[in-house]
Chains A and B, each alone.
Chain A
Amino acid sequence: MAKTDSLQGSLDLLVLKLLSRRPRLHGYAIMAAIATTSGEVLRAEEGSLYPALYRMEEAGWIRAEWVKKDTGRRARVYELTAAGKKQLDAEESRWQSVSGAINRVLQVLSEA
């Protein structure tokens, strides 16, 4: 059962971006949203999603809150903090420049 983490290094960016658009999501909803918005191409594993959430919570980028659901079960929902917003901008521009650079390299090499 070799699971390749297709999101290596970019999970933080996706979670932050998602939370900036749709605040107060719980863990499952985040996972589901990544899957649907990426057209089922990207998949966040539970084993990496929660550690990433906790890490970002400790870093102060997101904050969590328990909410009572209709089913009587409690769910922990996450939202972006001001520091998270800044981090998102930084990660996003970094991603843009890196992916642009990679595209350029690919282009140059395919033309050659």
Chain B
Amino acid sequence: METITSPISGLRARGVALGSVVPIYLLLVACGVTLLVGCLQSGLFARLTVSGLAVGAAYGSLALALVLIYRATHVINFAQGELAMATTYVAYQLIQWGLSYWEAFFATLAIAFMIGTLLQVALIRPVQHRSQVAAVIVTVGLFILIDGIVNWIWGGNFKFMQSPFGTGAYTIGGVDIEHLYVGMFGVVLASVVLVWALFRFTKLGLGMRAAALRPAAASLVGVRVDAMLALGWGLAAVLGAVAGLMYEPSQFTLDPTLMQTALVYAFAAAVLGGLDSPVGAVVGGLAIGVFLNLLVGYVPAISSELQLPFAFALLLAILLVKPSGLFGQREVRRV
């Protein structure tokens, strides 16, 4: 299986690009307004929306990690969720060994970064030039292996991690908004913004973007492409760790299955938003989080069993209309 996508063509006319994106932004604004109105009308709606946005942020962070890796190396990292879960366990262990929550948090981010870069260098780099499928299968192997290792070390029983945001809530207009949800949303937003700033404003970020988009040209101007790709994986691992660490308190317990459903939603978010669009990934995650909650709360006709198939059918329908996702760019294939 050879590389099918080609880099986004710089020859694309501006007008065409705008034409495909403006309707999407309008749609988003419309959704935002609807949500706001709904929140003001109903306490239940507000609660569902807020918690949906919070977990959606976690899904979005994981989706962003997937997109980051995909943009850089055209590899779907199946192990992203398990890696996020494993790094959460690392934080758990650090806390057991006496660190405070935030000390463990930042230490874990550093460890995640190192693991991410190491994985890319040791396991992905040797194969990605030979065969992209092989690289993807390596991530499948990692998915299985990491799950096995975590189970081996910590076992399958529940573990408890103190929520860093406590169990209190802000009361706005008669509706309780958990500190946890605000915190989750805030931390994820902060990390996403930081990563965005890194890419946009630093030379390092520029180098990473160049290495992803035009590796040959980039290396000609002195960018160390291989190192940039490794850094990309490291950053993705950090985003994954943030996703895991923020998601765990919302699920009340820590066990090896923590990120399995989240990974599925993250894939859906990444596909929905467009696999080459970081904005799309985050928006996709938020959309999925809110949508699922509202579906459960307001459409009992779609019974439990049909929720997942329904959500995916919807996703597929959207893909048929926009085959590269909401924010993705159509691939131009050169003959």
* Mutual binders A and B: no
